[in-house]
């Protein structure tokens, strides 16, 4: 079976919007932020998943409740009704009108409109898998996890229809083994600290492509002291040198680039000739 995301990435780099596109009064990980990301030209929306106390799956980054919601309680300790009553805070920490959405709501809202990257897949694999199947989204998602035995065994035994990309740090020592297993492997998310790291090499990207696999890179910055892609970041791109940020990643041949700035990155990629005009 040919994955439709591979077909899309075979034509051009895909733009992945990290937690949507948050700005002004629109917080990250809300349906509004994902809608904004699509309007900016994103192909993929990256989401975080947190389960509530009674099993409902919510689109929320674990542990960020004090910052994003202004509360000291955590969603895993709350009922679905309690979570539904919450509202996000904006960048000024002022309450907004935006609720914490469920994974069911997100799938229904964006089904067939974009690909969905499921971060934190390892937190509740059976429940997320059931939700993906319930909404017939298996061709439209990417499950992400570290290549831990628990996750790989689950995918092989119970989630062989779920597209998967492991997080790979600096050197890839898992892909060859994964190709031998009954896992729907899309490729790898490459994390590297230096241009000289093996997963940042032309040879690695070319070898993955020869296997029919994709390589995902990150321009996002969680912590400026520990960047994801050897300094080829959104920060560099947005403050004056997009060629050293997004351009470097695109020239390297990465199939998917994750960003917090989907609109400017897409504009740059088009102007630089990495995307078709128009």
pLDDT, average across residues 43-62: 97
Reported confidence tier of residue 261, pLDDT bands at 50, 70, 90: very high
Residue 190 lies in a domain: yes
Residue 21 lies in a domain: yes
- Look at residue 218 and tell me whether its pLDDT is greater than 50: yes
- Look at residue 217 and tell me whether its pLDDT is greater than 90: yes
Which residue is listed with tokens 């998310």?
189
- Look at residue 2 and tell me whether its pLDDT is greater than 80: no
Q: What does the alpha-carbon distance between residue 91 and residue 176 come to, in Å, rounded to a whole number?
A: 43
- Look at residue 11 and tell me whether its pLDDT is greater than 90: no
Q: What does the alpha-carbon distance between residue 175 and residue 156 come to, in Å, rounded to a whole number?
A: 14
User: Containing domain of residue 167, as a range?
Assistant: 4-64+101-271
Share of the chain above pLDDT 70, in %: 99
Q: What does the alpha-carbon distance between residue 132 and residue 140 come to, in Å, rounded to a whole number?
A: 9
- Look at residue 276 and tell me whether its pLDDT is greater than 90: no
pLDDT of residue 93: 93
Reported confidence tier of residue 34, pLDDT bands at 50, 70, 90: very high
Residue 86 lies in a domain: no
Q: Which of 1-5, 23-27, 172-176, 222-226 has the lowest mean pLDDT?
A: 1-5
Residue 227 lies in a domain: yes
Among 156, 171, 178, which Cα is nearest to 204's?
171
The domain that contains 143 carries what CATH number? 3.20.20.190
Contact 30, 60 (CB under 8 A): no
Q: What does the alpha-carbon distance between residue 244 and residue 233 come to, in Å, rounded to a whole number?
A: 8
Count: domains in the chain: 1
Contact 175, 208 (CB under 8 A): yes
pLDDT of residue 1: 45
Residue 89 lies in a domain: no
Share of the chain above pLDDT 90, in %: 94
Residue 28 lies in a domain: yes
Positive or negative CA dihedral for 33, 36, 40, 42? Answer: positive
- Look at residue 170 and tell me whether its pLDDT is greater than 70: yes
More confident residue, 204 or 226: 204
Reported confidence tier of residue 278, pLDDT bands at 50, 70, 90: low
Residue 81 lies in a domain: no
């Amino acid at each position: 079976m040919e994955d439709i995301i591979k077909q899309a990435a075979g034509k051009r780099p895909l733009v992945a919007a990290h937690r949507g596109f948050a700005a002004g009064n629109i917080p990250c990980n809300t349906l509004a932020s994902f809608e904004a990301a699509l309007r900016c030209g994103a192909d993929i929306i990256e989401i975080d998943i947190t389960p509530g106390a009674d099993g409902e799956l919510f689109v929320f980054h674990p542990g960020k409740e004090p910052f994003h919601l202004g509360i000291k309680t955590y969603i895993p300790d709350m009922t679905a009704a309690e979570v539904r009553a919450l509202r996000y805070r904006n960048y000024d920490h002022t309450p907004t009108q935006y609720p914490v959405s469920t994974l069911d709501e997100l799938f229904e809202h964006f089904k067939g409109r974009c690909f969905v990257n499921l971060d934190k897949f390892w937190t509740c694999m059976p429940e997320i898998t059931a939700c993906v199947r319930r909404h017939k989204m298996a061709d439209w998602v990417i499950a992400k996890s570290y290549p831990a035995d628990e996750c790989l065994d689950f995918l092989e035994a119970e989630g062989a229809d779920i597209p998967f990309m492991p997080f790979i740090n600096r050197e890839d020592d898992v892909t060859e083994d994964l190709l031998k297993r009954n896992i729907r492997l899309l490729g790898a998310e490459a994390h590297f600290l230096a241009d000289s790291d093996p997963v940042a090499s032309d040879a690695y990207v070319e070898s993955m492509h020869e296997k029919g696999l994709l390589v995902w890179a990150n321009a996002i910055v969680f912590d400026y002291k520990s960047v994801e892609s050897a300094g080829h970041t959104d920060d560099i791109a947005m403050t004056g040198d997009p060629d050293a940020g997004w351009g470097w990643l695109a020239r390297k041949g990465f199939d998917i680039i994750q960003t917090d700035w989907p609109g400017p990155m897409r504009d740059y990629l088009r102007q630089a000739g990495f995307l078709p005009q128009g």
